[in-house]
Structure 1
Amino acid sequence: MAVSLSLLPGRRMGSTVTRGDFEWVHSDQPHTERRKEILAKYPEIKSLMTPDRQLKWIVMGMVLVQLVACNLLRDLTWKWVLFWAYSFGGCVNHSLTLAIHDISHNVAFGNRQAKWNRWFAVFANLPIGVPYSASFKKYHIDHHRYLGDERLDVDIPTDFEGWFFCTPVRKVIWLTLQPFFYVLRPLLVNPKPVSRMEVWNALVQILADLVLYCVWGFKPIVYLVAGSVFCMGFHPISGHFIAEHYMFAKGYETYSYYGPLNLITFNVGYHTEHHDFPSIPGRKLPAVRQIAAEYYDCLPQHQSWTRVLWDFIFEETLGPYSRIKRNRKSVM
């Protein structure tokens, strides 16, 4: 039986977050052992570890939609440019970042065509307005391999974030500024050398932005970049950032959401299943849950990303510190 997080006892509304530190554990992440158990019991799941042949066509369609939108809004007033950036363009761009998330696991063309996956991610990156895909892949692999690691998993907030953003107002500010924290945090916590692919990603993106500016002016650029910032900040879709790993139930570090927003987010809501089987495309993750239902239906799950944001802001037990964290020695 599924456990709704909104029904769990002991969750209180308050002004200041009661947590003063992360939830430190010395055990390994649960996904490794569960993956072994499920594959031993249901070896047919291996048949799902194949490329998603539809993904590239969907992404190309989304890029085309944004190109058409740029043409349509080039003569609008600024207030309408920003309105459509938040209500439409940002939603498409957020969805594209989740397509890039899928592509980072080589599910567009398969593991044997890693270079094709990397360049296709650069293509999917174009409407986002700023280079993103190459850097994301570089750090996202560590997030899976070293989930909760104090240095290597840069998805975890810094101590400053946990200490400072501890009231409802500050948590709203923190959620709004999420895009900037996701950019700056890796540079502070685990800086890595700039890769050749990151350079190419930046050059291609700058060239595309220049072409767009020369053809249709500055408003399409603002529409794309502002939409990316808006919808990766304080927006219902961005609730998945909090829903995925923040500890809404003690001892659980990954949560799934099975609601309708999965239709426009490449099933990123199936996050427990994704961490168990990162090589399975998002489109096929519902099949994992269907085959191995007894492993997932008993876990706490979210019913609404909007409710996730509401609870995160107003409940005194939740804040940036609400993450399971591991000492490096416990994950090596």
Structure 2
Amino acid sequence: MKPDSNLIWVVVLMVLAQMVAFYLVKDLDWKWVMFWAYVFGSCISHSMTLAIHEISHNSAFGNNKAMWNRWFGIFANLPLGIPYSISFKRYHMDHHRYLGGDGIDVDIPTNFEGWFFCTRFRKFMWIVLQPLFYAIRPLCINPKPITRLEIINLLAQFSFDVVIYYLWGVKSVCYMLAGSVLGLGLHPISGHFIAEHYMFLKGHETYSYYGPLNLLTFNVGYHNEHHDFPNIPGKSLPLVKKIAAEYYDNLPQYNSWIRVLYDFVMDDTISPYSRMKRQLKATRGLVDWRTSQNCRKDPSMD
């Protein structure tokens, strides 16, 4: 349970790689702008969201430098084009504290999503539109007051977008935004959104994936391990599995996120409703987590 200093350099290199890409696409035909946005930009953008996930757990600078992680998250956010890092941190900690908590965990689809996206075609469209639902869902399920850091995140991101437009034009900005939208929608890496907590098997709420895409996603596929030990950086989660193999090897697991997406669309018994939802009791503005066995605070949640 210690910071991953390599994460800092990886994020810096990813930001620089996208800056080079912004420059290279500025004079391309639109068809090639969109081609590279999907083939390259989407991979970097989705990978960066998972770097931000790591940073939200204070994996870059450690728990004793929580604000350093927040500022670094804002920096990592820049090539995504959309302010995301600070708000993600606030809601993701709820996901860990109250997994499946009705009205708190915004990773749970709304009743509308479960009701409407129930056919194969509609489930396919739901996957394509995932970035939209992840943006809107918090406002519907668990709206929170805007914080000073979120305003800073917004201003920093808007200023960066304006600078990119001024330097290299609209194609670079479209490449940036399209890469983020496409990378979080119909994309092989997006299989992790469904693989993590959708109940393909009754009684199993969280699933791990041990395939090669973990190399691009900071081992987010090791999801049982991550929820058991959220204060351990993704780099070390394979070691967790190795040390505690008797606890993880026999759990249901995936080897292909593409297959997860296919099965989600084609299996008529699976839909956005296929999630564990827990009822929480609110008392004087606090949450009584009745099913939790361990209420100790994880320092990475600061």
* TMscore range, shorter length: over 0.9
Measure how far apart 1:331 and its partner are. 2.8
Offset at 1:250?
0.5
Query: In the alignment, which residue of structure 1 is the partner of 2:289?
Result: 331
Q: Report what 2:261 is aligned to.
A: 309
Which among 52, 58, 64 is matched to residue 106 of structure 1? Answer: 58
Cα RMSD of the aligned pairs, angstroms, is 0.7
Letter of the aligned partner of 1:156 in structure 2? Answer: I
The residue that corresponds to 1:56 in the other structure is: 8
Which residue of structure 1 lines up, in the alignment, with residue 170 of structure 2? 218
Question: Which residue does the alignment assign to 1:23?
Answer: none
In the other structure, the counterpart of 2:71 is 119
Deviations 1:136-163 (A, max 9, x none): 0010000000001011100000011001
- Aligned AA for 1:267? N
Q: How does 1:78-93 map to 2 (within 5 A)?
A: 78-93=30-45
The corresponding residue for 2:86 is 134
Structure 2 portions without partners, runs of 5+: 282-287, 291-302
Tell me the secondary structure at the aligned position of residue 28 of structure 2. coil
The equivalent position to 1:318 in structure 2, one of 243, 261, 270, is 270
- Structure 2 counterpart of 1:138, one-letter code: R
Q: Distance in 2 between matches of 1:215 and 1:325?
A: 47
Q: Is the aligned partner of 1:258 residue 2:210?
A: yes
What SS is found at the alignment partner of 1:183?
helix
Task: Name the amino acid aligned to 2:89.
Answer: K
Q: Does 1:185 align with 2:143?
A: no
Per the TM alignment, residue 53 of structure 1 is displaced from its structure 2 partner at its CA by 1.0
d(CA) in 2 for partners of 1:295, 1:63:
37
TM-score, structure 1 normalization: 0.85
The residue number in structure 2 matching 1:197 is: 149
Distance 1:76 1:50 in 2: 44
Give the SS at the match of 2:182. Answer: helix
How many residue pairs get matched? Answer: 284
Q: Which secondary structure state, in structure 2, belongs to the residue aligned with residue 58 of structure 1?
A: helix
Q: 1:151 maps to what in 2?
A: 103
Deviation at 1:303, TM superposition (A): 1.4
Q: Whole-Å Cα distance in 2 between the matches of residues 125 and 58 of structure 1?
A: 14
Per the alignment, residue 239 of structure 2 pairs with: 287
CA distance in 1, matches of 2:32, 2:280: 48
Letter in 1 for 2:122: R
| 2:188 alignment partner in structure 1 | 236
Q: Deviations over 1:95-134 (max 9, x none)?
A: 0000000000001000010010000000000000010000
Counterparts of 2:133 and 2:101, CA distance in 1: 18
Deviation at 1:259, TM superposition (A): 0.5
Whole-angstrom CA distance in 1 between matches of 2:147 and 2:194: 29
Identity %: 65
- 2:5 aligned counterpart, secondary structure: coil
SS in 1 for 2:277: strand
Q: Distance in 2 between matches of 1:249 and 1:124?
A: 36
Gaps of 5+ in 1: 1-48
- Displacement over 3 Å in runs of 4+: none
